[in-house]
């Protein structure tokens, strides 16, 4: 075997770190986009933002939030659904905490395996 146990350990820990960074970036993009919509008071169709005016990154975030039920709209316009915002926030908190605990568990198992041998 050309690679040892140390390489496998490092690889797994790097993958865990990259996954945590990816999830944190997504949460931050969603937080900023929702903040932007709140700042523009886009809570009804008359104050909706146009998807064509958004950057590519914001369009992807808008599509994700629309699929999650946080944004509503038809065609080129999107606005916040205030009733769904609280439930969405709670789900994201649960997801973040459970992901952090899973990452901690993987790191602890890896540390235990390294130190036990």
* Domain locations along the chain: 5-116
Residue 3's pLDDT is 67
**Cα 3 from Cα 33, distance rounded (Å):** 43
**Cβ atoms of residues 48 and 82 within 8 Å:** no
Residue from 103, 72, 95 nearest 26 by CA = 95
70, 84 in Cβ contact below 8 A?
Answer: yes
pLDDT, mean of residues 53-57: 91
Please give the pLDDT value at position 32.
93
What is the β-pairing status of strands 49-50 and 71-72? unpaired
What does pTM read for this prediction? 0.79
Domain at 5-116: CATH code: 1.10.10
pLDDT at residue 56 tops 90: yes
Residue 58, token pair as written in the block: 């914001």
What's the confidence (pLDDT) of residue 10?
82
User: What proportion of the chain, given as a percentage, has pLDDT over 70?
Assistant: 96
Average pLDDT over residues 2-10: 74
């Amino acid at each position: 075997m050309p690679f040892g146990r140390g390489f496998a350990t490092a690889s797994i820990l790097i993958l865990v770190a990259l996954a945590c960074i990816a999830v944190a970036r997504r949460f931050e993009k969603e937080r900023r986009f929702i903040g932007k919509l709140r700042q523009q008071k886009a809570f009804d169709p008359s104050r909706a933002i146009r998807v064509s005016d958004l950057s590519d990154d914001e369009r992807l975030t808008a599509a994700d939030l629309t699929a999650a039920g946080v944004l509503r709209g038809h065609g080129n316009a999107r606005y916040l659904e205030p009733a769904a915002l609280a439930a969405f926030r709670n789900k994201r908190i649960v997801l973040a905490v459970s992901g952090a605990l899973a990452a901690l568990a993987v790191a602890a198992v890896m540390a235990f395996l390294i130190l036990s041998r």
